[in-house]
Structure 1
Amino acid sequence: MARVRYGARTERETAATRAASARLSDLWSTEVVAVWETDPDAVAAVLPRPLKPTARPLVRATISRADLRGQPLGAGSFAVAAAHGPVDGWYPLVMPTTRERALTGGREVFGEPEKLGEVTVERDGLVVRASMARHGIAFVEVRGAVSGPLPLPGPVRRTAFSFKFLPAVNGRGFDGDPLLVHCEHHERARRLERVTGDVVLRESVYDPVADFPVRRLLEITIGEKTRDRRGRVVERVDPRALLPFLHQRYDDDPLQALDAPPAATGSRYGGGGA
């Protein structure tokens, strides 16, 4: 009988898979990052306990494009600054990706808010455009022109917070207590440049990032970067604290459609680069 591929793998095959994963070579990506100050009340409103706002109400939009075994991979993150006890980090609200394998790994392993979407990073000479889109709406667009090189930073460690959970089978609450995860990103850059430009946030009932307007644009950069990440569970979370934020993870469009988006449709713009 031919091998049934859904059947159990042997211990040797499982061990070989783990070893191959540990030997993955550096994956370098072209990455556009925009950071700005926004409405502090908006940031505070989206943080489930035990996360709290930091001293500055910051938003970080990261949009990257890489080549993975000959296939393009796009990934994005829209995150707000947050703190868990003494640890400052970022709490992503939406992380579009172009590949299902990246989505399932991020959501099932780390509890990240990964969703399938369109991610674009384009550079034509000095002109840069990057965007995250879902349901036909480019809800974040970063655009501008390269205005000069930046010194390469040393290795950077950045913490992202996420909640790993399973919605209950009966539709009420969770099956088990949700887990708060610290995901440590270790990043290196081999090229980094300053971009002078702006950030456009478009209204979307699925990805309502327009609620975080650009009050003061701090920086836009484009670079070539590589990173690895390691996650760890730091505590169990009171389900009652997380349940009101469950809609952040899913396209709860029947309810979000009742959220009454701003009457003025179209775009909200950020000013020139810092």
Structure 2
Amino acid sequence: MTRVRYGPRDESEIRKARQAGAKLPDIWSTGVLALWETDPEVVAAVLPPPLEPPEQPLVRASISKVDLAGYPLGAGSVAVAARHAGAEGWYPLVMPMTHERALIGGREVFGEPKKLGEVTVERGPGGALHARLARHGIDFVEITGTVGAELPLPEPVRKLDFYFKFLPGVDGEGFDVDPVLVHCLRHERVRKLEAVAGDVVLKESPYDPVADLPVRRLVEITVGEKTSDQKGRVVERVSAQGMLPYVHQRYDDAAQVLDGPPEGSA
């Protein structure tokens, strides 16, 4: 009988897949990173417990093209600074990906808030730079500017992201099991880094309301070539009742279309 590929794999196939996944080559990305200060009460409002706001209310937007042979990937992220149990890190609110393959692994394994979207990074004549994130045909982050001087390369660094991994209940109520808080540790290396003089524009979207994180003071914009690995671990189970008010962060809740733009916006 011809092999049925949906059938069970034997132990050697499972072991080979596991070993291949443990020995991934360096994957380099070219990306734009913008960092800004926003309102402290906004950062505090978006953090599910037990995450706590840091002293400095920072937001980070990352827009990258990833060098995957024959399978180029656009990857984005908008995250706020946070801390947990004395550890400083970042809590991503949305992570647009251009391919389902990248989306599924991150969501199911780590609990990353990945969603299919459009990710663009373009460099033009004279150092012109344009990067954007979009979903459902709506641009919600746009970074424009001019690439300037090359910057000194930073030392390899460890970066910590916080994720919540959960499954909504099959009966439409609560969760199947209590959510868990994941610490995801990345070791990042940079081989090129350039300064960018530019602006960050946050546009209104009912699905990705990052416009609620206004740019009060732009800290920096850079463009660079980076690679990193990541390892995650579950650090604690969290209250289902405490997590429920934040579930809409992960999904395109139909009720979000009823949300109005932030007060004072045009």
CA RMSD of superposed structures (Å) = 1.1
1:87 and 2:87 equivalent? yes
Residue 108 of structure 2: aligned partner? 108
4+ long deviations beyond 6 Å: 263-266
Residue 217 of structure 2: aligned partner? 216
Give the residue type in structure 2 aligned to 1:213: P
Equivalent-residue separation in structure 2 for 1:23 and 1:118 (angstroms): 29
TM-score, length-scaled by structure 1: 0.94
Instruction: Write the mapping of 1:161-200 to structure 2, written as runs, cut at 5 A.
Output: 161-200=162-201
1:71 CA displacement? 1.8
Residue 124 of structure 1: aligned partner? 124
Helix, strand or coil at the partner of 1:71: coil
Give the residue type in structure 2 aligned to 1:30: T
Equivalent-residue separation in structure 1 for 2:153 and 2:177 (angstroms): 44
Equivalent-residue separation in structure 2 for 1:187 and 1:172 (angstroms): 39
1:262 CA displacement? 3.8
Instruction: Write the mapping of 1:1-274 to structure 2, written as runs, cut at 5 A.
Output: 1-125=1-125, 126-253=127-254, 255-262=255-262
Q: Share of identical aligned residues, percent?
A: 65
Helix, strand or coil at the partner of 1:230: strand
Equivalent-residue separation in structure 2 for 1:85 and 1:34 (angstroms): 26
CA contact (8 A) 2:151 2:194 kept: yes
CA contact (8 A) 2:211 2:262 kept: no
1:69 CA displacement? 2.1
Q: Which runs of 5+ in 2 are unaligned?
A: none
CA contact (8 A) 2:212 2:262 kept: no
Give the residue type in structure 1 aligned to 2:237: R
Give the residue type in structure 2 aligned to 1:171: G
CA offset digits 1:210-240 (Å, max 9, x no partner): 0001000000000000011100000000101
CA contact (8 A) 2:198 2:221 kept: yes
Distance 1:53 1:263, change over 3 A: closer
Q: Which runs of 5+ in 1 are unaligned?
A: 267-274
CA offset digits 1:183-219 (Å, max 9, x no partner): 0011000000000000010000000000001000000
1:67 CA displacement? 2.5
1:259 CA displacement? 2.0
Which stretch shows the higher mean deviation, 60-69 or 218-227? Answer: 60-69
CA offset digits 1:63-113 (Å, max 9, x no partner): 110231212101001000001020010000000001101100010000010
1:137 CA displacement? 1.0
Equivalent-residue separation in structure 2 for 1:229 and 1:237 (angstroms): 22
1:265 CA displacement? 6.2
Equivalent-residue separation in structure 2 for 1:19 and 1:257 (angstroms): 45
Equivalent-residue separation in structure 2 for 1:213 and 1:265 (angstroms): 10
CA offset digits 1:137-170 (Å, max 9, x no partner): 1100111001211100011111000000010111
1:41 CA displacement? 0.9
How many correspondences in the alignment? Answer: 265
